[in-house]
């Protein structure tokens, strides 16, 4: 099935600042800061970095009075730098108080994330939830009702577990956990609507950390409502484990047309870039053919037929070059983000794969004549040799882009 044939689940479109989520809008990439929100300067910097990397919405935690006081300063600082990314406030326990006490915070945010498991208990909980929804209505903000299996509504858990235990056909533990999460999200969405919040202001999420659990819970959620859905595997983990688990879960759901915005919850390696989560989200969407963000390099893994690391370095340099050029190219060369560039290690698959790409190079493997044919749109155009193959190929890529995506192209 091609991406153009892939059917998206029909959902209501929600406007978050200037970004549309759901309906026919493309799947939106979002991320979250890990700075102390009260440190406005550090948060402005990180939001700007995440946005520059491609995050279309950025969430910040609003957990204390100091954080709430800083939100308007953060918005102003971003606006001054021309960073117009919508901000989402992540609230737990005291959100109603902070939004009431700091109207400039309530105004500066574009969406409030409410976790129904972390609002309160009993009547107190209903009052706090209602207060946050009323504030969202007053300031015309979107809301994400974000259920997380690490912080489920305990009263609902007890009630539904008891009912399940007494049922003649009880669900197993995993099934009832997923059912509680779906019920929590849907009940709270309906309460928000009853309090006056439009369906076009509500996004739902049910995050779990197990791949099969996440797939199951979102299939159930999607089959039972048409609210816009935020997808993400919570606590995905570090490095390749986090990337693989997130990709495994999200790819299945996205392939089924489920999901309107995604966030990849990677734990950064010490000293690692927070922007990695944005890059991974983009790569998932692009490799599935759902969106294009930056030209992709197709490179072979290398094997015993190529003893040199030259082609690995070239593949890496070209990918970095393409990424670095995108801020400039995206305005100047419409469509360039869908370009494919092949960097291949030897004659076995090199010419074939290079011919399938927009532009590709087939480097010489061990024992081959030290020449590197270049292909453009399936035709061999030039053969590079000598010590400057990398620079010459980069120049050819730049010329290709100008010819095919520039004003003349
Ligand atoms: S293209 Fe050549 S070097 Fe690359 S993996 Fe295939 S056989 Fe090995």
- Mean pLDDT over the full length of the chain: 95
**CATH number, domain 14-288:** 3.20.20.20
Strands (E), 175-241: 202-207, 228-231, 237-238
**For residue 177, how many other CB atoms are within 10 A of its CB?**
20
Binding-site positions for [4Fe-4S] cluster read 300, 303, 346, 353
User: Which residues have C-beta within 8 Å of that of residue 323, sequence separation ≥ 6?
Assistant: 294
* pLDDT, tens digit (0-9, with 9 covering 90-100), for 345-377: 999 999 999 999 999 999 999 888 899 999 999
Does 14-288 match 296-406 in CATH topology?
no
Superfamily (CATH H level) for 296-406? Sulfite Reductase Hemoprotein, domain 1 (3.30.413.10)
Binding-site positions read 300, 303, 346, 353
Return the pLDDT at 408.
Answer: 59
348 C-beta closer than 6 A to ligand 1: yes
Return the pLDDT at 17.
Answer: 98
* pLDDT, tens digit (0-9, with 9 covering 90-100), for 3-46: 545 789 999 999 999 999 999 999 999 999 999 999 999 999 99
Instruction: Point out the ligand 1 atom lying closest to the alpha carbon of residue 300.
Output: 4
Tell me, in angstroms, the distance from the centre of ligand 1 to residue 304's CA. Answer: 8
302 C-beta closer than 6 A to ligand 1: yes
4 DSSP assignment: T
Tell me, in angstroms, the distance from the centre of ligand 1 to residue 297's CA. Answer: 15
pTM: 0.94
Domain locations in the chain? 14-288, 296-406
345 C-beta closer than 6 A to ligand 1: yes
Tell me, in angstroms, the distance from the centre of ligand 1 to residue 282's CA. Answer: 27
In angstroms, the Cα distances linking 334 to 71, 298, 408 are 35, 21, 12
Return the pLDDT at 203.
Answer: 98
In angstroms, the Cα distances linking 146 to 150, 189, 196, 205, 303 are 11, 10, 19, 5, 46
What is the mean pLDDT of the segment spanning 169-184? Answer: 97
Q: What tokens appear for 310 in the block?
A: 């030259």
Query: Is the Cα torsion angle 207, 96, 158, 142 positive or negative in sign?
Result: negative
């Amino acid at each position: 099935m091609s991406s153009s044939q892939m059917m998206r689940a029909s959902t209501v479109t929600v406007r978050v600042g200037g970004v549309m989520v759901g309906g026919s809008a493309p799947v939106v990439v979002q991320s979250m800061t890990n700075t102390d929100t009260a440190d406005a300067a550090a948060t402005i910097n990180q939001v700007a970095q995440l946005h520059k990397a491609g995050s279309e919405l950025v969430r910040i935690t609003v957990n204390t009075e100091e954080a709430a006081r800083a939100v308007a300063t953060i918005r102003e600082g971003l606006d001054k730098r021309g960073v117009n990314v919508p901000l989402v406030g992540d609230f737990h326990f005291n959100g109603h108080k902070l939004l009431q006490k700091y109207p400039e915070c309530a105004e500066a945010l574009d969406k409030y994330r409410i976790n129904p498991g972390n609002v309160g208990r009993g009547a107190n909980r209903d009052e706090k939830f209602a207060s946050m929804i009323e504030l969202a209505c007053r300031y015309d903000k979107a809301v994400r009702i974000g259920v997380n299996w690490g912080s489920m509504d305990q009263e609902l858990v007890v009630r539904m577990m008891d009912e399940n235990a007494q049922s003649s056909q009880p669900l197993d533990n995993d099934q009832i956990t997923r059912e509680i999460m779906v019920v929590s999200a849907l009940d709270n969405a309906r309460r928000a609507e009853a309090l006056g919040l439009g369906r076009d202001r509500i996004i739902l999420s049910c995050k779990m950390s197990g791949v099969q659990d996440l797939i199951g819970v979102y299939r159930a959620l999607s089959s039972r409502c048409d609210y816009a859905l935020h997808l993400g595997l919570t606590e995905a983990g570090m490095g390749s484990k986090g990337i693989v688990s997130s990709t495994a879960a999200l790819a299945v759901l996205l392939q089924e047309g489920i999901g309107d915005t995604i966030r990849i919850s990677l734990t950064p390696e010490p000293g690692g870039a927070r922007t990695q989560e944005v890059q991974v989200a983009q790569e998932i969407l692009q490799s599935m053919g759902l969106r294009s963000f930056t030209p992709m390099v197709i490179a072979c893994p290398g094997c015993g037929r190529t003893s040199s690391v030259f082609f690995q370095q070239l593949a890496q340099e070209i990918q970095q070059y393409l990424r670095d050029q995108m801020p400039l190219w995206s305005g100047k060369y419409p469509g360039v983000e869908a370009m494919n560039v092949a960097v291949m290690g030897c004659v076995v698959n090199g010419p074939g794969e290079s011919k399938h790409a927009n532009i590709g190079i087939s480097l010489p493997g061990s024992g081959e004549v030290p020449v590197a044919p270049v292909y453009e749109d399936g035709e061999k155009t030039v053969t590079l040799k000598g010590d400057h193959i990398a620079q010459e190929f980069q120049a050819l890529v730049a010329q290709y882009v100008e010819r095919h995506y520039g004003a003349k192209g």
